[in-house]
Amino acid sequence: MKTKGINHLALVCRDMAETADFYTRALGMPLVKTVALPDGGQHFFFDCGGGSLLAFFWWPDVPPAAPGIAAVKDFPAEPKSAVGSMNHVAFHLDEDELDASIARLKAAGVHVSVPIVVNHDDSPMGVAREMHDGVWVRSVYFRDPNGVMLEFAATLRDFRPEDIAHAPARAAEPAEA
């Protein structure tokens, strides 16, 4: 089996009109497909570039959001979410587009996390205040109207064999799925 990347990621929204407005207007992602579900719900697909789609389900009787359980509470300050949850969605972006993207988000009234641009590196903290040669990705975090944590990520270099430097951890008592 050989996959060719992500076809789509399907999330759940609280209001499809609000969600469609955010993704088309604030993020510039074209709405490319809409589906009316037989149970009264909807399933909409947005083109997020590179042949990938971001999709949303909506139902009139959807359960409420559960930050810190089903979704991240605040990134990067409180990054944990429960087993089986979706933590955040990161979109590829060229580094030279980060500043313009931040300006577009702010102009659309979208709150951007602080620090605004996060420099991810291999230091013990995993982030650096200043840009340096060890930074491998720069990103900005923000939320959609449903509380979904989103990220614009600019990868600065190709991954190398030495980037695999840690054995996978095993929990003393694995969390229930």
User: What are the start and end residues of each CATH 3.10.180.10 domain in the chain?
Assistant: 1-60, 74-158
φ, ψ for residue 162 (rounded to 5)? -70, -10
Euclidean distance between CA atoms 134 and 86, whole angstroms: 28
Euclidean distance between CA atoms 48 and 52, whole angstroms: 6
Q: What was the pLDDT predicted at 177?
A: 63
According to CATH, the superfamily of the domain at 1-60 is 2,3-Dihydroxybiphenyl 1,2-Dioxygenase, domain 1 (3.10.180.10)
Alpha-carbon distances of 13 from 46, 57, 108, 142, 159, rounded to whole Å: 13, 6, 19, 16, 34
Digitized pLDDT (tens) for each residue of the chain, 177 residues in all:
887 888 999 999 999 999 999 999 999 999 999 999 999 999 999 999 999 999 999 999 988 888 888 888 877 778 888 888 888 999 999 999 999 999 999 999 999 987 789 999 999 888 898 999 999 999 999 999 999 999 999 999 999 999 998 889 888 876 676
pTM of this prediction exceeds 0.85: yes
Cα-Cα-Cα-Cα dihedral sign, residues 100, 106, 110, 116: positive
CATH 3.20.140.10 matches 74-158: no
